[in-house]
Structure 1
């Protein structure tokens, strides 16, 4: 699908990988709605790229519907949906006090990363399915997993499970939505230089970089965004999960 002129949605677009994707889409001529629970971040990115900012909690169906309505009113119905929003957690099953970890954090991580991603996808897909095809397809949807889906580290049970769920549902979603001419793909990023990692001491950044075979550095969010755009423009990419990690395979710790 050609990007120029197409309405697009980016969840988690107020910072990090989501902001990079929003900028890249806008640079290619897309009309971008930036969705984020952090409205200030969404507004900053939207102002920069000439887009629309909407506060949106992807676990809240009413907020998604409201954001979709606002984006459609401003730009037209979205055909490109980038699901980047998510949270990260790390906690051992048995704590240092010998007690079982709380179930609350596990459930919250699954709800935001997996259920929230599906929630946005199902609601936006229903709208895309009603649109007329353009160049043989109605829409393109991209989800965000993680290398932790394949080689999660100690303490990443919840995060790995949530991202593994995204990987597992990629192919069945692509098969399900094929009848509506909607493609679905997933990106599984490694360690990227997001604002969170940029705040770490240089020594810590260097240690993380040393674990990556080649190139020995943290990923640039612009590289993630470039792959996201390729998943939109290459019409034969469907039902795939693609790692982008410099050949990183995460050690146990």
Structure 2
């Protein structure tokens, strides 16, 4: 799919995977609209060509308003990348009692419902575009995690939400095939994002040693490069790609 002179949505674009992806797409001549929460947008320094729009991805009205603005500014919306997510940790049972139900609900709302909300509304906008010579109208790339497959102790809510993202990939691809819209998912391993900044160098080095090869943390730019590769490779559809250096998470 040609990205030149198109528009893209990237959620969670104020930092981490989203910021790296937004910058990489802008570097390819894409007009990028980054959706993130108010407080994240206020403290962000986006790359040239990236326009941040304060948006809660779980809110239908806010996402619809953002897409209406994007489609009204001229360039066709061909790509949506869902990077927004949270990863709190809690066990099913602990000294404090059972897992907080509101916390579990919040993780599912942001990671799974938020992803689906942007997926469905972006797909609606893409479906109204003219198809290219190959019948394509757009691409949605979602973000799962290797925790969708072998999560660690304390990751029950995160694992459930990311397994949901991975699980809906093939169905979404089949649902949207009639409109010429591809759907792919990336499942990253341990990525050196701001979420990792609170860990000591010793802990980070220990995490890197758990990766099979290359024995280091992944870089957000590597996720961004994979998004670009998926966009360029028209035959990739309905699949979840692990980007993890062959890491298989242990129980703890």
Same fold (TM over 0.5): yes
Q: 2 CA distance for matches of 1:245 and 1:127? A: 32
Instruction: Confirm whether residue 182 of structure 1 aligns to residue 205 of structure 2.
Output: no
Match of 1:104 among 102, 105, 119: 102
Match of 2:117 among 107, 116, 119: 119
Q: 1 CA distance for matches of 2:118 and 2:231? A: 18
State the partner residue of 2:37.
37
Residue 45 of structure 1 deviates from its aligned partner by 4.2
Q: Structure 1 stretch 59-68 or stretch 194-203: which is displaced more?
A: 194-203
Q: Describe the SS at the equivalent of 2:168.
A: helix
Q: Structure 1 stretch 138-147 or stretch 61-70: which is displaced more?
A: 61-70
Residue 231 of structure 1 deviates from its aligned partner by 1.0
State the partner residue of 1:248.
247
State the partner residue of 2:195.
196
State the partner residue of 1:172.
171
C-alpha root-mean-square deviation of aligned residues, in Å?
A: 1.4
Unaligned runs of 5+ in 2: none
Q: Describe the SS at the equivalent of 2:93.
A: coil
Residue 90 of structure 1 deviates from its aligned partner by 1.2
Q: Describe the SS at the equivalent of 1:35.
A: strand
Residue 200 of structure 1 deviates from its aligned partner by 1.9
User: Could you report, residue by residue, the CA deviation over 1:216-238 in whole angstroms, capped at 9, with x for unpaired residues?
Assistant: 11001111110011111110000
**1:4-153 counterparts in 2 under 5 A?**
4-38=4-38, 40-41=40-41, 44-46=44-46, 48-97=47-96, 99-136=97-134, 137-153=136-152
State the partner residue of 2:155.
156
Contact 2:14 2:36 in 1 (8 A): yes
Contact 1:14 1:39 in 2 (8 A): no
Q: Describe the SS at the equivalent of 1:131.
A: coil
Q: 2 CA distance for matches of 1:150 and 1:40? A: 29
User: Could you report, residue by residue, the CA deviation over 1:129-185 in whole angstroms, capped at 9, with x for unpaired residues?
Assistant: 111002320001100000000001111111001000011100000001000000000
Residue 44 of structure 1 deviates from its aligned partner by 3.5
